[in-house]
Amino acid sequence: GIGTLAKEVLSVSDVGVPLAPAGKAALVPANVTAFAEGLDVTEDDVLLYLALREAAHQRLFAGVPWLREHVVGAVTDYARGIQVDTDAIQSRIEEQMRGIDPSDPASMQGLIEGGMFELPKSPLQQAALQRLEVVLALVEGWVDEVVGQATATRMPAAGKLQEAVRRRRAAGGPAEETFAALVGLELRPRRLRDASTLWGSLRSRQGIEGRDGVWMHPDLLPTAADLDDPLGFRADATAPDTMSEEDFDAGLRRLLGGEDNTDEDNTGE
Range with the poorest average pLDDT among 51-65, 103-117, 242-256: 242-256
135 shares a domain with 25: yes
For residue 14, being part of any structural domain is answered with yes
Average pLDDT over residues 4-11: 83
- Residue 195's nearest CA partner among 164, 226, 216, 218 is 226
For residue 223, being part of any structural domain is answered with no
149 shares a domain with 24: yes
Nearest-angstrom CA–CA distance, 178 and 167 = 19
Which pLDDT score is estimated for 267?
Answer: 44
142 — pLDDT class (breaks 50, 70, 90) = very high
Given a cut of 90, whether residue 223 has pLDDT beyond it is: yes
Nearest-angstrom CA–CA distance, 202 and 44 = 32
262 shares a domain with 177: no
The contacts of residue 178 (CB under 8 Å, 6+ apart) are 1, 4, 112, 113
**Which one has a higher pLDDT value, 138 or 238?**
138
Which residue blocks in the chain are alpha helix, DSSP H? Answer: 2-6, 29-36, 43-63, 67-80, 86-97, 105-113, 123-151, 158-171, 174-183, 192-213, 224-228, 245-257
24 shares a domain with 152: yes
Range with the poorest average pLDDT among 7-21, 45-59, 138-152, 196-210: 7-21
For residue 196, being part of any structural domain is answered with no
pTM of the model: 0.74
Nearest-angstrom CA–CA distance, 249 and 166 = 49
185 shares a domain with 125: yes
**Which one has a higher pLDDT value, 152 or 99?**
152
Give the total number of structural domains in the chain.
2
11-46: pLDDT as tens digits: 988 878 887 888 889 999 999 999 999 899 999 999
155 shares a domain with 73: yes
Nearest-angstrom CA–CA distance, 76 and 18 = 13
140 shares a domain with 257: no
**Which one has a higher pLDDT value, 218 or 93?**
218
Full residue range of the structural domain in which residue 61 is found: 2-83+119-189
Neighbouring CB atoms inside 10 A of 212's CB total 18
For residue 245, being part of any structural domain is answered with yes
73-105: pLDDT as tens digits: 988 888 887 777 677 777 777 777 776 777 777
